[in-house]
Amino acid sequence: MSAPSTTVTTSTTCRSCNAATGGAQFCPTCGKIQPLPRGADYFAFFGMPQKLVVDLAALEQRFHSLSWKLHPDRFARASEDERQLSLDLTSQLNDAYRTLRDPVARVEYLLSLSGMRKEGQKKQQAPPELLEEVFELNESLDELRETRATGGSAAQMTGLRAKLESAQHKFESALAGVDQELAGVSAEWDAALDASADESARNKLMERMNEVLNRRSYIRNLVNGVRQELAET
Ligand SMILES: [Zn+2]
């Protein structure tokens, strides 16, 4: 999270009464709004550990509560500085919530915090278990475009559509499989944190997550491509 312009402090003591704030948005002693400590991330914003299995109902509740407490309307008569802080923190709150409520964006974000998100040169390569399906799909797509361009018969088009729809289902189920895999690694990550796993173990898990994300993005592009082609047919 980039530091808002008004945030120059690196301490976690209240700007107003000097009491310890623990990095919270409001001083627990005097209740004044506080800038986020430098380097605070989205997880810290919600007072959460950097874990990947998230109780969405609790997250939503915290979001609504913070939204209300930080709302700029509540700072209409506050100092210019506090008004600006409420705007900055509200905007960061919205970004943080959007990211953390989505299981894929959440993993992407965790990896980006450690510089472990790497799109990779293999992005354009089909995952080995899908090679054959991808090959067939490309053939069907070529055939479809050619048939469309040369004005093929209705029966031909119907046959090709059916082929593409079946490919679409295959890739959608592959995508669901990858999402399950991501949920599995996410749970492993949380268990590793609970067990105070060392850096090398954590890095290995992050590399696996990165690989799953790359595979996911490849398959999602295929699904979207087929969907678009079918919509045009
Ligand atoms: Zn205070």
- Residue range 158-215, pLDDT digits in tens: 999 999 999 999 999 999 999 999 999 999 999 999 999 999 999 999 999 999 999 9
Q: Give the pTM.
A: 0.85
CA distances from 51 to 56, 119, 165, 187 (A): 13, 22, 37, 9
68-93 confidence digits (pLDDT tens): 999 999 999 999 999 999 999 999 99
Q: How far is the CA of 16 from the centre of ligand 1 (A)?
A: 5
CA distances from 83 to 32, 166, 214 (A): 12, 55, 41
Give phi and psi for 178, each to the nearest 5: -65, -35
Question: Could you list which residues have their CB under 5 Å from ion ligand 1?
Answer: 14, 16-17, 19, 27, 29-30
- Indicate the pLDDT class of residue 115, thresholds 50, 70 and 90: very high
CB 145 within 8 A of CB 161: no
pLDDT score of 219 more than 60: yes
Q: What are the helix (H) ranges across the chain?
A: 42-45, 56-70, 80-101, 103-113, 131-149, 154-194, 199-232
pLDDT score of 43 more than 70: yes
If we measure between CA atoms, which residue out of 53, 24, 55 comes closest to residue 40?
24
Which residues, in sequence order, are bridge partners of residue 33?
Answer: 26
Instruction: Say how far apart CA 2 and CA 72 lie, in whole Å.
Output: 20
Per-residue pLDDT, 1:
47
Q: How far is the CA of 84 from the centre of ligand 1 (A)?
A: 18
pLDDT score of 11 more than 90: no
Q: How far is the CA of 65 from the centre of ligand 1 (A)?
A: 20
Residue 95 tokens, joined: 């970004």
